[in-house]
Amino acid sequence: MSDQRDQKGRKEYSVDEILAEYGSGNYGKSKKVVEFPEGRSAPPKNETDQPPIREIKKTTPKEDKPIPEIVPEGVGRTIGAHLHTLLRRVDHYADHMYDQAEPDEATRRAEKYIPGVDREELPEEGKRAHRDKLRVVRQREAPPDTPPAKLAAQYQKGLKGQGFRVRLAMFVGLIAILASVEVSFLPWASLAGVVEDAGLSVYQLRSLILTALLLVVGLLCYEVVVGGVRQLATLRPRAESVLVLAWLFTLLDGATAGRLEPRYACLPYSAVTALGMAFALWGTHERRRGDRLSAKTAAQTRTPYVVSWDETLWSNRSTYTKASGSSVGFGSQLQMEDGGQRAYRIAAPLLILGCMLCALLASVGQGVPGRFLWAASACFTAGGAWSALLCFGLPYRKLAERLHKLGAGLAGWQGAAKCGPGGAIVSDLDLFPPGSITVSQVKVFGGAATEKVVGYTATMLRVMDCGLTRPFHDLLRTQGALYREVSGLEWHEGGASGVIRGKEVLVGTAAYMHIMEVTLPAGYNIKNAIFCAVSGQLCGMFVLNYAMDGAVNPSLSALMRAGLSPVLATRDPNLIPTLLGQKFKLPVDKMEFPPVGRRLELSKPNPEGGGALVALLSREGLGVYCDALVGGRRLRQATRWGLIFALAGAVIGLCLTYYLTSIGAFASLTVANFLVFMAAWLVPELLIANWVNQF
C-alpha cells in the first residue's frame, strides 16, 4: 500500500487500493457508489480537501449484470456472493407473487362455465392490400354466365354421338396397329406380286393404308383438328395444336414413305398418332360429361347452398363457407379453361418450337433433308402426350358422377383450383340437419304459463337464428303459443338476452344461467337442455335430444386428412366442444372454436360479402359439403400430377426421338416400340383418375 499522507497526517488511499482490499478490483463494471467500511476515515466532503485521485479508464461492460455486494475476504467470498444473489432472487419473487389480485366471484364463474375459444390471427393491412391488387390484376374476361339448366341442355346435345366417335376412333387405331406390326395372319407376303404389278411395294401399300386410316381418325376427331387449327391461326397454341401438327406431318410422311428416303424397316407412325387423336377426343368427351353433370346438379334447385372461398376470412388463411344463395356465376366458371389447358399455354409453344428444331437438326443438320418428314412426325407424335387432354377430363368426370349422386356440383376447374388447405366453417345445420333435434321434455317453474314460457323461448331462439329454431317452432304450434317482439338482443357465451314486453328474458344453457346468477333447482344442471329466465327468475327448462348422423364423424375426419380444419361457427348454445367431444366423440381437439362474436359473423348467410364460388349443393348436411371440398382438392392434385407425367413423357419422348432420328435408327424407332413408350406414360394418368374418388 501507498504510505502517502495528507497535510493533517491522514493516510491517503487510492481507488485501486480500496477496490483491491474490499471490492472486485474491476471498477468499470460497477455503477454503484460503495461507502467506506467502518474503521476507515472517510475522505473530506469538501472538494478542495479531497485527495488527488488519478483517472481510471472505464471499460464497456459485456453484460449489464449487477455486481454482488462486497463480502469479506476469505474462503467464503464466492459462496457468500452466490448465496446473496440467490437470496435476492427469492426476495424479488416473494415481493411479486401477490401482485395479481385475487379473482372475484364473477371472474371465477366465467372461468368455470364459459368455454375456451381459439384466438384468430389477423391479416396485416399491407398484405391485404397487396392481395387485393393481385386479385384485380389476375381477373380475365369470363364467358357469359349461362344458366345451369340451359348449359346442361347444350352439353347434352351430341354427347352420345361424340362418345360413339371416340369408340370408333379407338377401333380404327387398333386396326392401324395391326397394319403396322408383323403378324402371321395378315397376307402381306402374298400380296407382293399384285402390288409390284401396280408399281408399288408392300411397304408403300401398308404406308398408304395407314395414311388412309389416320385420315379417317382425323375426320372422326374433327373437334380436335378444328380446335388445333384455330389455335395455330390465332397464335395461341394448346395441346390440340401439338396433336394436329403430329397428325399433319404423319399424313405427309405416310403419303411419301419410301420415296424421299428408303427406310423399309420403319413404317409411318400412323397408329401412334391415331390413338393420340382418339385419346384427345376422349378427354374432351369426359370433360363435357363432367360439365353436364355439374350443370344438371346446379339446376336441381333455385336456391342452392353456395360453397364459397375467401382468402383471409378466418385466422388470416383460406376459409370455406356454405350458405344459401343462387347459381350466379356458376355457368361462367364452368366454361373456363381447365388446369391442363392453362398449363399448355406455356408448354405448347415450347414443345412446338422444340419439335421443329429437333426435326430440322435430325434431318437438315445431318445432311439428309429427305428425313425431315419422318423426323417431324416422330418428334411431334412423341410431344403430343396421350394424356394431355385426359389429365383433367377423366378425373373430373369420375368426381362429377360421385358428387351428382350426393347433390353437389363443382364449379369446374375454377372451383377445384380454390380447394386447398385452410379452414371450413361448420354450422349448426351441418352437424344437425332439420329433424335431428327434438324437444323431449318441457318443465315449467314458478307457476308460469306453459304457453308464455314456450312463446318467449321460441321467440328468442328464432331471433338467434340457430339450429333450434325449427324444433321450437314445432313446439310453439303444438302449444298454441305466439311469437313476440324482441328488442335489445345481446349475445353471450352460452346464451342470449333480450327484452320482451318490458321484461328481460334470458335463454341459454345451465352454465349461462349460473353466469347470469339465475338459481337452478338441485339436480337440473343438464347439459343438453335450454333454460329460460324472465326478470332473473327461472321459468322453464327444455330437454333436447340430439341425433347425429353417422356420416358426420367420417366427414370431419376426411376434412382433416385433406388439410382442412373445421371451424365451429355454431349458434346453438349447447353446441360447444365439450358436448360434441364427450357425447358424440368428435375430434374437437383438432377443431377450432371462435369467440361468440366471430361465430356470429362467420355464420351469417353471406359472411363479409361472400367469396369466390367453389360448388353448389342441393342438399343439407355435412357429408355433401365435405365431399365437395375434399373432392375438389383431390381433383386439383390429380390434374397437377397428370400434367407432370404428361409433360415429362413429352419431353423425354422428344429427346429420345431426336437422338434416334438423328442417327437414323430405323430398327429401334419402330411402331411397336413407340406404342409401348406412349402407353407406359398413359398408365399413371389412369391410376390417378381412379384415385380421385378414393376418400
- Convert the pLDDT of each residue in 634-655 to its tens digit: 999 999 999 999 999 999 999 9
What average pLDDT does the structure give for the chain?
A: 84
3-state secondary structure at position 306:
strand
Residues 340-353 have a mean pLDDT of 96
Rounded CA-CA distance 620/429 in Å is 7
How far are the Cα atoms of 42, 53, 176, 627 from residue 35, in angstroms, in the given order? Answer: 9, 16, 109, 80
Residue 189, judged by CB atoms within 10 A of its CB (0-12, 13-18, 19+), counts as exposed
Cβ atoms 305, 321 nearer than 8 A: no
CA angle centred on 17, ends 55 and 45, rounded to 5°: 65
- Convert the pLDDT of each residue in 454-471 to its tens digit: 999 999 999 999 999 999
- Convert the pLDDT of each residue in 203-228 to its tens digit: 888 899 999 999 999 999 999 999 99
Full DSSP string of 332-384: HHHTS--HHHHHHHHHHHHHHHHHHHHHHHHHTTTT-GGGHHHHHHHHHHHHS
3-state secondary structure at position 495:
strand
How far are the Cα atoms of 96, 245, 351, 395, 518 from residue 103, in angstroms, in the given order? Answer: 16, 80, 72, 60, 21
Rounded CA-CA distance 616/304 in Å is 6
pTM, rounded to two decimals? 0.79
How far are the Cα atoms of 10, 617, 626, 677 from residue 322, in angstroms, in the given order? Answer: 93, 9, 11, 46
| Amino acid, single-letter form, for residue 685 | E
Residue 584, judged by CB atoms within 10 A of its CB (0-12, 13-18, 19+), counts as middle
The answer to whether the Cα torsion of 447, 450, 452, 457 is positive or negative is positive
DSSP letter assigned to residue 607: G
66-75, 233-242, 311-320, 474-483: which has the minimum mean pLDDT?
66-75
Locate 495 and state its grid cell.
346464451
What pLDDT sits at residue 95? 63
What pLDDT sits at residue 24? 45
Rounded CA-CA distance 240/337 in Å is 13
How far are the Cα atoms of 158, 204, 366, 370 from residue 258, in angstroms, in the given order? Answer: 41, 6, 19, 10
Q: What is the pLDDT confidence band of residue 257, given thresholds at 50, 70 and 90?
A: confident
Helix (H) or strand (E) holding 76: none
